[in-house]
Amino acid sequence: MKNHSLLLSVMAVALAAGACSHGPEPFGRLTPADVSQKLGHPNVFVYDNNSRSTFDRAHVPGARWVDHSNVQAADLPADKNATLIFYCANDW
């Protein structure tokens, strides 16, 4: 997956349905370089919101797949101070 096609958003513990929509963004954005610097740090978790087949073909190293329309508490770390990074591909 090409870096320029990733939309990277830092999100709160609760992920709203439709996080990959084109609406207002209540969360910050990170560049691929920003995310690269955070990968592997303790208490940083990366989640891929693409389709399962897209995730299976390619994803950020260490990312977990999660269905953005059905995120469960068990999908997220117990530590409410953890940094969560969610991304999906967008064509805009």
Which tens digits make up the pLDDT trace of 16-74?
A: 333 444 455 667 888 889 988 999 899 999 999 999 999 999 998 899 999 888 888 99
Backbone phi, then psi, for 66, in 5-degree steps?
-145, 135
pTM above 0.85, yes or no: no
Backbone phi, then psi, for 3, in 5-degree steps?
-60, -40
Work out the pLDDT band at 5, boundaries 50, 70, 90.
Answer: very low
For residue 18, the model assigns a pLDDT of 38
